[in-house]
Amino acid sequence: MIRIENLRKEYDAKTVALDGIDLVFEDSTFVALLGPSGCGKTTTLNCIAGLLEPTSGKIFFGDKDVTQLQPKDRNIGMVFQSYALYPHLKVIDNIAFPLKQKGMKKAERYEKARKIAEMLQIEYLLDRKPTQLSGGQQQRVSMARALVKEPDVLLLDEPMSNLDARLKIEIRDEIRRVQQETGITSIIVTHDQEEAMAIADKIAILDNGRIQQYDTPEHLYHYPANLFVAKFMGNPPMNFIDAALSADGTRVEGAGFSLPLEQHMAQGGKKFAGHAVKVGVRSHLMAVHTEKVPQSMEMRLQIAENLGKEILISGMVGDSFVRVTVPENHDTFEQYKAISRSEKPLVYLTMTGVYNIFDTESGVNIALEK
């Protein structure tokens, strides 16, 4: 288990890269550090690796305080964005390099290198030099080198950024497979939320040097802790509908709708009574009705598009732009098209699944109030 305690990293007393990070990485889990550029994810990774010294805070590998230890004493393996293979060494020497530093004899370390190369399906490349390899191949060599010393933790710094879309998916699955086979605790830094959702057991989203939320991909997707996370996760992005909580905090009301608050939001409703809020709901978790039904939101239908696998309708709920996707159906599509051209192009949306309410001012998900 890896534990980070109140990690801070400051540059020149003006720039704060890490603003107090607390994280726990359970053994054998795959955790993604996700966020936009400059959020502090790479800084965190480098601190874990020992390549950066934190301004304050502690890092524990198990019970051991490793904060002052050099990278070479932390028993970690790292895969870099640029692969960082040693150009003057053959692939097999690249992979065996960490073992050489440990003083292992040549025969033994070549044996281990071969084994790991096999696992990553690159044995046929062992005699080549890095410049003779493709991007994907270099990636695998980089992984092999990181894993050969059987480290306690595997760190990956945006390893797939330099690959094309098809390779990305292939390598992603490869990394996942290897991690599950070896059971090694892994931490990956990425700015691609889709990648994080696909590969990680848990995701820590960072912004401005702080952790916004640390949870499973599913929870992050459906129950984002604040507006930032909600906007970041999911493609296409979540819809946000401007509204306000009633004065007594039991209803959320917007242009053309008034919905009672669900039970798990009751406390939040009381706390943020009367506040302006945003209702966050996924495009595919709404149903469209052509007649007004109770507890629905009125939407001025502007465009209806048939995307083949689904129908996408977009329009305005109050002043907020909303997109809704429904299963493809020829008749429904024609109906929507007709409505969009009519004099009163109104449809009515109801929630069919999870939705969240965020306090506009603080961005917080009101359901977090217990």
Partner 1 sequence: MFSPKRDETRPGYEMRKEHIAIGVMILLCLPILAIYVTFFAQAFVADGKLSLSNFRFLYTTIVMGQYTVPEMGPAFRNTVIFTLCVTACEVVISLMAGYALSRMRFTGRNFLQKLLLILRLFPGVLLLISILYVLMYTKLLNTLLGVVLVAIALRLPGSTFIIRNFFNDIPKDIENSALVDGCNRLTAFFQVIIHMVKPGIASISVFAFMSAWSNYLLFNTLILTGKVPIMATYLRSLSMNDQMIADYGVFSAMALVYMLPVFVFFIISQKSLMKGGFSGGKGI
Segment interacting with partner 1 (CB under 8 A) among 29-37, 96-104, 277-285, 338-346: 96-104
Q: Is 112 left (phi over 0), alpha (psi -120 to 50) or beta?
A: alpha
Using the minimum distance from each CB to partner 1, give the nearer residue, 72 or 264.
72
C-alpha torsion angle, residues 231, 233, 238, 243 (rounded to 10): -40
Residue-wise DSSP of 188-255? EEES-HHHHHHH-SEEEEEETTEEEEEE-HHHHHHS-SBHHHHHHSSSSPPEEEEEEE-TTSSEEEET
Q: Does 71 bind partner 1 (CB under 8 A)?
A: yes
CA-based nearest residue to 280, from 226, 211, 345 = 226
Smallest gap from Cβ 140 to partner 1, in A, equals: 15
Smallest gap from Cβ 62 to partner 1, in A, equals: 19
Smallest gap from Cβ 110 to partner 1, in A, equals: 16
What six digits make up the tokens of 337? 């098209």
Burial profile 69-90: b = 16 or more Cβ within 10 angstroms, e = fewer: eebeebebbbbeeebebeeeeb
Smallest gap from Cβ 89 to partner 1, in A, equals: 8
Using the minimum distance from each CB to partner 1, give the nearer residue, 101 or 342.
101
Of positions 35, 40, 77, 280, contacts partner 1 by CB under 8 A: 77
* Residue carrying the six token digits 């304050």: 56
* Of residues 299-328, those binding partner 1 (CB under 8 A): none
Of positions 60, 97, 110, 333, contacts partner 1 by CB under 8 A: 97
Smallest gap from Cβ 105 to partner 1, in A, equals: 15
Q: Does 130 bind partner 1 (CB under 8 A)?
A: no
Instruction: Report how many helices (DSSP H) and strands (DSSP E) the chain contains, helices first.
Output: 10, 20
Q: Does 54 bind partner 1 (CB under 8 A)?
A: no
Smallest gap from Cβ 274 to partner 1, in A, equals: 53
Smallest gap from Cβ 71 to partner 1, in A, equals: 5
Contact 70, 50 (CB under 8 A): yes
Phi, psi (degrees; rounded to nearest 5) at 236: -70, 160
E strands, the chain, are 2-11, 15-25, 30-34, 56-61, 64-65, 76-79, 153-157, 185-190, 202-207, 210-215, 239-245, 251-254, 257-260, 276-281, 286-289, 297-306, 310-317, 320-327, 346-351, 355-359
230 vs 283: CA distance, rounded Å: 13
Segment interacting with partner 1 (CB under 8 A) among 82-90, 190-198, 244-252, 255-263: 82-90
Using the minimum distance from each CB to partner 1, give the nearer residue, 82 or 362.
82
Q: Does 69 bind partner 1 (CB under 8 A)?
A: no
Using the minimum distance from each CB to partner 1, give the nearer residue, 102 or 370.
102
Using the minimum distance from each CB to partner 1, give the nearer residue, 100 or 341.
100
Using the minimum distance from each CB to partner 1, give the nearer residue, 76 or 259.
76
User: Total residues contacting partner 1 (rule CB under 8 A)?
Assistant: 23
Cα–Cα separations (whole angstroms), residue 271 to 40, 44, 365: 32, 34, 12
Of positions 12, 13, 37, 88, contacts partner 1 by CB under 8 A: 88
Q: Does 149 bind partner 1 (CB under 8 A)?
A: yes
Segment interacting with partner 1 (CB under 8 A) among 11-19, 84-92, 120-128, 169-177: 84-92
Q: Does 109 bind partner 1 (CB under 8 A)?
A: no
Segment interacting with partner 1 (CB under 8 A) among 16-24, 47-55, 169-177, 212-220: 47-55
Q: Which parts of this chain interact with partner 1 (CB under 8 A)?
A: 49-51, 70-72, 76-78, 80-84, 86-88, 97-98, 101-102, 145, 149
